[in-house]
Amino acid sequence: MNWDSISAPDRARIRRWQIGMVALALVCEIFLAADWYAFAAVIPFISKTLQLDPAQAGLAQGIFALTYAFGMIAWSQLSLKLSARNMLLIGLAGTGLGMALQVEVQSFGQLIALRLFIGFFDAAIFLGNMKLIFGWIPQARRASVVGLVLAAYSLAITLDFALGIPLTIAHGWRVFFAVLAAGTLVMAVLDWLFARNDPAHIGFRGFAWQAHEPALIGSTLRAVFSRKWVIVSGLSISSSVMAIAGTATWVVPAFITVQKMPVENAALIGTAMGLSQVVFLVIGGYLSDRLRKTVMVRIGAVLALGTALAFTLATVHPMGFGALLFLAAISGLSVFSGGAVFSLLSERYPLALATAAVGYAEIFGITATFISPWFMGLAIKASGGGFLDAFLVFSALELACVVSLFVLAREPAGERVEVKPAGVPV
């Protein structure tokens, strides 16, 4: 059974469920990102309460990624047996519990333990979301829908700062965390009540978006890495997240130091960068359904390099605040190919294996999240506080991704995947 073989009323029913499941995925992604970056948004307030020094505060924010990366490995394996609904349920319940416990944290050690706990379960939410999208959305539409999900992630980070800081000022950071914990647990209940894995689970037995695929034989790890596409996707993710991590960490300090930007303008720059990601993820996802994914990942890497070079220019050339705001507003070009990356994996791997491939590719991104701001910080320290060398390092890392992708993402003419018209639902 497939889309072409079912009646118009059945198609309408599937469309309604698709809209509901995409909406569920968007809200789940919002709470994933909000729980991850809530600490970053209110670091000064928590540091004052728990008497954290800058090194401890930085470790508490960054250590989250360790268990997130480990979770990607663990949940990638489990994704072969667990349904999207169950992965989301486990992830949301675990993360919500961790956030609830974090409300009462009294020491640095407790904070670290809970950040590690939350990171592991956030990985289940992300992969559960990808599996839900792969189950409900046909290949011809996946890039645009994944782009929306990733845009929800970026929007949540922006809202953490835009809403979380005022709430914390008014009522304290513990109230902010309590609100996030309650919202995450409510989403777990909604997932338990309403989530369905794919059209087969609402009565369309045997339904499939594409032809039946052979069962996986042998190890998952070997099956994923026997094809180059997990490396291609990992490099593309790295290109984007290096730009996000590098700019989020060092652009505002560079503008303040080099361009003499008033500190009170920092929030506007940060908000502009976050909203820029939302806009370009949506646009890039739309285009990715209409162009070859391998072309899009190369375009995305070039655009990420372009943003790095633009910010490098801002470390040596005097600019007015309007020009700085413009750079922030176009910085989202660095994530332009976000929708294409994960859709590429569902295109090049059997559907049963695609979620695991996403998890392994994400590990590249987690690594890049550490490397970019760390290497840039080392360059700033080595140069005695200057920012030019740091942004040259940033540009060099992006250039390495561009070169690698132009080599690895090439497709012989006989192996190219034809882009089908995006004329199917959602």
* Exposed e or buried b per residue across 329-368, where buried means at least 16 C-beta atoms within 10 angstroms of its C-beta: ebbbbbbbbbbbbbbbbbbbbebbbbbbbbbbbbbbbbbb
Strand, helix or coil for residue 163: helix
Token digits of residue 336: 């332009």
Q: If you classify domain 220-412 with CATH, what class do you get?
A: mainly alpha
Per DSSP, the residues of 368-391 read HHHHHHHHHHHHHHHTTS-SHHHH
| pLDDT of 263 over the 90 cut | no
| pLDDT of 418 over the 80 cut | no
Query: Are 218 and 345 in contact, with CB atoms under 8 Å apart?
Result: no
* Residue 292 or residue 4, greater confidence: 292
Q: Distance between CA 192 and CA 136 in Å, rounded?
A: 17
How high is the pLDDT of residue 331?
92
How high is the pLDDT of residue 321?
93
When pLDDT is cut at 50, 70 and 90, the band that residue 216 belongs to is low
Average pLDDT of the chain is 87
Nearest to residue 33, comparing CAs of 244, 330, 336? 244
Q: Distance between CA 371 and CA 298 in Å, rounded?
A: 21
Average confidence (pLDDT) over 62-86? 88
Average confidence (pLDDT) over 115-138? 93
How high is the pLDDT of residue 415?
57
Query: Are 57 and 47 in contact, with CB atoms under 8 Å apart?
Result: yes
How high is the pLDDT of residue 382?
86
Query: Are 76 and 360 in contact, with CB atoms under 8 Å apart?
Result: yes
| pLDDT of 404 over the 90 cut | yes
Q: Give domain limits for the chain.
A: 3-202, 220-412
| pLDDT of 218 over the 70 cut | no
Residue 261, phi then psi, degrees to nearest 5: -70, 135
How high is the pLDDT of residue 338?
87
Q: Do domains 3-202 and 220-412 have the same CATH topology?
A: yes
- Cα torsion angle, 144, 307, 252, 386, sign: positive
When pLDDT is cut at 50, 70 and 90, the band that residue 106 belongs to is very high
Q: pLDDT (tens digit, 9 = 90+) per residue, 172-202? A: 999 999 999 999 999 999 999 999 999 989 9
When pLDDT is cut at 50, 70 and 90, the band that residue 114 belongs to is very high
When pLDDT is cut at 50, 70 and 90, the band that residue 22 belongs to is very high
Note if the pTM is more than 0.75.
yes
When pLDDT is cut at 50, 70 and 90, the band that residue 245 belongs to is confident
Q: pLDDT (tens digit, 9 = 90+) per residue, 266-320? A: 778 888 888 998 899 999 988 988 888 999 999 999 999 999 999 999 999 999 9
* Composition of the chain by helix, strand, coil, percent to 5: 80, 0, 20
Nearest to residue 409, comparing CAs of 290, 285, 297? 297
| pLDDT of 220 over the 80 cut | no
| pLDDT of 345 over the 80 cut | yes
Query: Are 355 and 130 in contact, with CB atoms under 8 Å apart?
Result: yes
* Residue 369 or residue 98, greater confidence: 98
How high is the pLDDT of residue 224?
85
Q: Of the ranges 53-57, 114-118, 194-198, 262-266, which one carries the lowest mean pLDDT score?
A: 53-57
How high is the pLDDT of residue 414?
55
| pLDDT of 251 over the 90 cut | no
The rounded percent of the chain whose pLDDT value lies above 90 is 48
| pLDDT of 410 over the 60 cut | yes
How high is the pLDDT of residue 189?
97
Query: Are 61 and 112 in contact, with CB atoms under 8 Å apart?
Result: no
Q: Which fold has domain 3-202?
A: Growth Hormone; Chain: A; (1.20.1250)
How high is the pLDDT of residue 423?
47
How high is the pLDDT of residue 213?
55
| pLDDT of 135 over the 50 cut | yes
Average confidence (pLDDT) over 213-236? 77
Average confidence (pLDDT) over 333-353? 87
